[in-house]
Amino acid sequence: EVLLVESGGDLIQPGGSLRLSCEVSGFTVSSNYMSWVRQAPGKGLEWVSVLYIAGDTFYGDSVKGRFTISRDTSKNTLYLQMDSLRVEDTALYYCARWGGYGYALDYWGQGTLVTVSS
């Protein structure tokens, strides 16, 4: 059974840092394309980042230069390092598997809540 479990969400002050984790079971993170998507309270979905199998990364304009996506093969876990956090980064953060070229985000976790507030 495929399971993605996010953790690490918290209440943090503007300018702070946080690292989100996404523990995966049922498939190997390093052999799949992985992504983060966020959803501000009561709002729609916003794509954040993707990590290719080969290690290439892409980011949304609003997080570029502040967020870093990575993985730990030994722990089969995906991460999102979030620096210089802003109030507008407040959201539920989902990790998801991208099926690869031609495919979409087919497996999702339940999300972890990040609240940026003073």
Partner 1 sequence: DIQMTQSPSTLSASVGDRVTITCRASQNINSWLAWYQQKPGKAPKLLIYKASTLQTGVPSRFSGSGSGTEFTLTISSLLPDDFATYYCQQYNAWPWTFGQGTKVDIK
Q: Which residues are at the interface with partner 1 (CB under 8 A)?
A: 37, 44-47, 50, 58-61, 94, 99, 102-106, 108-111
In the complex, what is the shortest distance from the CB of residue 64 to partner 1, in angstroms, rounded to a whole number?
A: 9
Distance CA 76, CA 32 (A): 11
Token pair 């979905």 is found at 45
In the complex, what is the shortest distance from the CB of residue 35 to partner 1, in angstroms, rounded to a whole number?
A: 8
In the complex, what is the shortest distance from the CB of residue 52 to partner 1, in angstroms, rounded to a whole number?
A: 12
Choice between 14 and 58, CB closer to partner 1 = 58
In the complex, what is the shortest distance from the CB of residue 8 to partner 1, in angstroms, rounded to a whole number?
A: 17
Distance CA 117, CA 84 (A): 13
Dihedral sign from CA coordinates of 5, 107, 45, 54: positive
Distance CA 6, CA 23 (A): 6
Choice between 54 and 104, CB closer to partner 1 = 104
Choice between 88 and 106, CB closer to partner 1 = 106
Degrees, nearest 5: CA angle 55-51-79: 105
